[in-house]
A and B are shown apart, each in its own frame.
Chain A
């Protein structure tokens, strides 16, 4: 998972707690359900978790650079509805619809990013507006009920897989997930990735150091949009077409990222931890299911747990970072007086 390059895996700040929680949950799953006594059970868990993990990775890029993306849930819905309408059960349409969907995700991300950086609107508001626009547009276009159907070959990504000797059935969504995760981890180790984190920490410093803040922030939103499109392709295959498919996913993705110890407001946290946070959330749901906790109480338990996890993480981090946050505020305060101030927040 962690792609250790040295003998000792290098864990970013805040990664260890979420990995510990995840490990506990996985062990608990093994005790709670017979399905988890062999790899197939865990692969099924990964398959279920894949869309959320991919969304969380996208959300991570935005959050670590100091923003929010509230539009991913409605973007997922829009993508699935568009796919169903355009494919309309025709096998031949799949091949051009998928690039179109990815392109639409990029476009939405680009709009989010450009409005945030060029018009200086806080990303919370931009993506909230985008959420309203996408939701409204989807319903306007479909008249309330999605029409059309996905083709079997489109759905392969979400529900299909290949049979391997040792692992058994390896779902495609797990393969896609691993590719995205490795790519994201490598990207965050590159210069661009490191600068992205620096933008979330102190964008004025990055700009003064010659970093292209605008381009990096837009890139984060574009990646988030692109990954939301990918998650929609998996979800469409896995869960099918409905106007509710993406409902609440934005909050889940943000929860997952924060659960992974990533600081809201940016500047700290690793992408692997964010992915682990999403997996933890999904493992938690599976465990609650196995333990027979009803669907209604599930959200209450989820609420308690995210508060507890974040409280635990921030009470620990606060002791370490108390001084740091104070100096960071002082820096940003003094820099707001510099005349050509391009991006606020």
Chain B
């Protein structure tokens, strides 16, 4: 539906309020306002503990949202990530079963299963021509059935050594955050610096034009779904390390499916595809994490967070829409 704006990238180089710039400006404003509000109550938002808190909260959602960004840029979307996170945490923890030697196989198996689920998602979307919303919802239901049939609660056991991933710090920065940033960096490089990445923008911009230009659209979409699923798998593995075991509903309880889409859209990626990027998404994730932290520091009712979250989401996207409109008519 939208014009392939990705194709025009690089044309205009002057500084402008792109969604990515906007989201970081909003983050800065939020941090300042948050600091003042928390300061009035006698606390400090941005001391080392506070920053760590924000970053730690961002890790899992960040991993999932980076993957979600890739599929959304393709004009697709993935509703199965929440159950996939839970599934991968279980696979990792059960394979390890407390033994140090099984750490690598556990991680690889979890990521392999994730890639397989992504492959299924992608093939259902491209070969069976099922709308991504329905395809990934269907896969989510299948995963849910499997989880409900086989698990009632946490299972598996992660060796002590593997918990370093969840709790250690590299200097002042948690390892998990570095992992998230590394994944985001890789995704950024892939999307902005490789042919495959450009194809993704082209497919999301206008799939018919992309196909006529010689892009293998099916393959591109399948790749995107696999990458998204692997990112969700990594989130599951990280959570297993953090929790010490696998938890079937850890992904759905946190609502990572809709939450990750919200973060992506908050970061300025167009839901219709073809426009946006990982950098904005990380900004969106940081905004959500900062909101959470500020509300926790202010001891605001947790349910009020949802209300604010919903309003922030709508307002943010409304602002982007307005900007696009003025750019188009100008």
What is A's interface to B at a CB cutoff of 8 Å? 70, 115, 119-122, 124-126, 128-137, 139-140, 144, 251, 254-255, 258, 264-265, 294-304, 306-307, 310-311, 314-315, 318, 325-326, 329, 332-333, 336-337, 339-341, 344-345
Contact = CB atoms under 8 A, between A and B. Distances in A.
B129 A329 contact: no
Which 8 interchain pairs have the tightest Cβ spacing?
Answer: A300-B145, A136-B306, A303-B141, A132-B310, A296-B148, A311-B128, A133-B310, A307-B138
A265 B271 CA distance: 13
Contact of B141 (A295, A302, A325): A302
B325 A120 contact: yes
Q: By DSSP majority rule, is chain A's interface helix, strand, loop, or mixed?
A: helix
Contact of B310 (A119, A129, A339): A129
B7 interface: no
Interface stretch (B96-104, B237-245, B258-266): B258-266
B163 to A, nearest CB: 30
Contact of A300 (B142, B272, B301, B313): B142
Contacts of B313: 125, 128-129, 132
A294 B149 contact: yes
A255 B134 contact: yes
A122 B134 contact: no
Contacts of A254: 133-134, 137
B311 A129 contact: yes
Contacts of A132: 262, 306-307, 309-310, 313
B149 A344 contact: no
Most buried by B among A135, A254, A311: A311
Contacts of B131: 258, 264-265, 310, 314
Contacts of A301: 145
Contact of A125 (B3, B130, B317): B317
5 contacts: A70-B258, A124-B261, A136-B305, A326-B208, A345-B272
B139 interface: yes
Contacts of B124: 307, 311
Contacts of A341: 325, 328-329
Contact of B208 (A315, A329, A344): A329
B149 A297 contact: yes
Interface string B32-72: 00000000000000000000000000000000000000000
A314 B132 CA distance: 12
Interface of B: 1-3, 124, 128-131, 133-135, 137-146, 148-149, 206, 208, 258, 261-262, 265, 271-272, 301, 303-311, 313-314, 317-318, 321-322, 324-325, 328-329
Given A311-B128, A315-B129, A296 B149 contact: yes
B244 to A, nearest CB: 25
B328 A131 contact: no
A251 B145 contact: no
Contact of B322 (A119, A299, A339): A119
B288 to A, nearest CB: 11
B303 A140 contact: yes
B313 to A, nearest CB: 4
A126 B148 contact: no
Contacts of B138: 302-304, 306-307, 310
A125 B265 contact: yes
Contacts of B144: 299-300, 303
Given A300-B149, A339-B329, A310 B130 contact: yes
A254 B321 CA distance: 25
A121 B130 contact: no
Contacts of A325: 208
Given A264-B131, A264-B134, A128 B262 contact: yes
A303 B149 contact: no
A345 B307 contact: no
A311 B145 contact: no
Contacts of A134: 310
A115 B318 contact: yes
A299 B141 contact: yes
A340 B149 contact: no
A125 B262 CA distance: 7
B311 A133 contact: yes
Contacts of A296: 145, 148-149
Contact of B137 (A135, A251, A265): A251
Contacts of A251: 137
A21 B208 CA distance: 32
A303 B148 contact: no
A172 to B, nearest CB: 31
Contact of B142 (A139, A303, A326): A303
Contact of A136 (B130, B304, B325): B304
A228 B144 CA distance: 26
A121 B133 contact: no
Contacts of A297: 145, 149
Nearest to A265: B131
B271 A122 contact: yes
Most buried by A among B144, B272, B304: B144
A130 B310 contact: yes
B127 to A, nearest CB: 9
Given A121-B317, A255-B134, 8 more contacts: A124-B261, A129-B309, A303-B140, A304-B142, A310-B131, A315-B128, A318-B129, A341-B329
Given A306-B134, A341-B329, A140 B128 contact: no
A126 B314 contact: yes
B258 A128 contact: yes
A204 to B, nearest CB: 11
